[in-house]
Amino acid sequence: MNKDELPEILTAQHISSFLGISRRVYELFQLNPNFGGIPNFDIGASKRVEKQDFFKWIEARKQEKTQS
């Protein structure tokens, strides 16, 4: 799956598939975004992420890596 194929509102499964990681996405949902967590919101008991926030999060992780 590439960036253009992702819907505007992402589930943990979308993120997991895109990043090629397991269910660790749920751990990233629990972390505060100021400490590396993925910004998300609740719909009932489910977590969702706006596509634009997800890609901003990726860019922030890349920036952190280049600054260390």
pLDDT digits (tens, 9 = 90+) for 4-56: 999 999 999 999 999 999 878 999 999 999 999 999 999 999 999 999 999 99
Q: Show Cβ contacts of residue 53 under 8 Å, excluding neighbours closer than 6 positions.
A: 38, 39, 40
For β-strands 46-50 and 41-43, DSSP reports them as antiparallel
Ordered by start, the domain boundaries in the chain are 3-67
Question: What is the spatial distance between Cα 38 and Cα 30, in angstroms, rounded to a whole number?
Answer: 8
Which pTM was predicted? 0.89
Cβ atoms of residues 1 and 17 within 8 Å: yes
pLDDT digits (tens, 9 = 90+) for 14-26: 999 999 998 789 9
